[in-house]
Amino acid sequence: MSKMEFEGSIFKDFTGRDEKLKQIVRFNMYPVMYYRTNLLTHSSRVCWLVEELTLLTSQTWIGFNQELTRTLALVHDDAEIITGDVQLGHKLEMSAEQLAVIDEQESAAIDTLSQTFPPSINGFPYRQLLTHALEKDCIEAQIVSFADKLDAYGESMHELFAGNTDFIPPCKNYTRILTNFAHQFPQLRDLFSHDHPLLLSPKDYDFGELAQNQQPHTPESIRINTGYPRYDFWKKLTIKKLGEGGVALLVTQREFRKERES
């Protein structure tokens, strides 16, 4: 079953869900994001990323539930339909008490969504899926969290390689998070013993220097390897899944700085 057929089938009774996710933009703390996406696109790409890791996860853990992981990837941000997207940059500046409030808000959102949408999706209890996403209490949810950070890293690097220096901080943050992910979630350590571009430690260079003299992406430049394996794989995966639509997603600039509008 194709990606579109799969999503269309399992979400057919979730009236209005896609439209609500489309309305929530990514990285809203940054006023200009050249290739800004939304939560619907993000959830699909997180699903594609976990699918790419499926063979390795099945080799690493007996009984690993691939279908649970795939479904969880698609709904992992549904609570933000209610709460909105709380940016990592803001969370990094929050106290433990403030973060606890965010968790409480997300728990309340899960209650609301569980009463709004059907009780199950693709054979899994909807409330339980959203709870897994919040608490990261199983390997499948931790893999989805890893893929979530991979997509955020890809989006941030994509901005940087187009010259958007505003994304230097998120590039640094996600590089650090991905580097330390196995330490944060020790159950995943065995996964990182495999040889795969998505599992390589991201390079932590001078992102400011890297962003200098970069130009907006083109259909030609988007296919050039940058030497950053995770980012290069992220680009290729988007094109693999969507074809020319993926190229358009990666190169169609949606926002501009004011000086470029004159």
Specify the CATH class of 3-261 in words.
mainly alpha
Sequence-distant (6+) residues with CB within 8 A of 133 are 72, 75, 76, 77, 78, 79, 141, 144
Give dist(CA 250, CA 45) in Å, integer: 13
Q: How far is CA 106 from CA 59, 68, 101, 161, 197, in A?
A: 33, 21, 9, 33, 33
Give dist(CA 35, CA 256) in Å, integer: 10
Give dist(CA 22, CA 124) in Å, integer: 24
- Domain extent listing, the chain: 3-261
Start-end of H helices in 124-257: 126-135, 139-160, 168-179, 181-184, 207-211, 229-242, 244-251
Going residue by residue through the chain, which has 262 residues, state the pLDDT in tens, using 9 for 90 and above.
445 455 667 998 999 999 999 999 999 999 999 999 999 999 999 999 999 998 899 889 999 999 999 999 999 999 999 988 777 666 767 777 877 787 888 899 999 999 999 999 999 999 999 999 999 999 999 999 999 999 999 999 999 999 999 999 999 999 999 999 999 999 999 999 999 999 998 777 789 999 998 999 999 999 999 999 999 999 999 999 999 999 999 999 999 988 644 3
Centroid of chain to Cα 53:
14
